[in-house]
Amino acid sequence: MSGRITPTICDPDHGFGIRVRLDSPKTLPVADADCRCGQFAESAEGEVAVQSLVIRAERHMRDDCPLPEVRAAAALRDWRRRHPTRRT
């Protein structure tokens, strides 16, 4: 596998976002994602579909979303992924 995804599970700030659920290593992961702007709402099942859903959702929130605060939050997550905090 190339690159790990780090989905947001049940974002505490609001009811929208990306949710990924994997009950056990033997079950298929399921995910749904929706955006506060109402222009993005999808669900997926299976590892490949879930990964691509997460990527598309993040891309929407970072680049395409009409809401500036959504884009700002996504840009921050993007920055954090590229600059991981070192744990001491």
The nearer residue to Zn ion, 28 or 41, going by C-beta atoms, is: 41
The nearer residue to Zn ion, 3 or 68, going by C-beta atoms, is: 68
Between CA 40 and CA 61 the distance in angstroms is 9
Q: What share of the chain is helix, strand, coil (3-state, %, to 5)?
A: 40, 15, 45
Q: Which of 85, 57, 82, 81 is nearest to 71 (CA)?
A: 57
Report, in angstroms and rounded to the nearest whole number, the Rg of the chain calculated over CA atoms.
13
Residue ranges in 16-35 that form contacts with Zn ion under rule CB under 5 A = 35
* Among 21, 37, 49, 71, contact with Zn ion (rule: CB under 5 A): 37
Say how many residues touch Zn ion, by CB under 5 A: 3
Strand partners, 17: 34
The nearer residue to Zn ion, 23 or 69, going by C-beta atoms, is: 69
Q: Which stretch binds Zn ion (CB under 5 A): 2-10, 23-31, 57-65, 72-80?
A: 57-65
Residues that bind Zn ion (CB under 5 A): 35, 37, 65
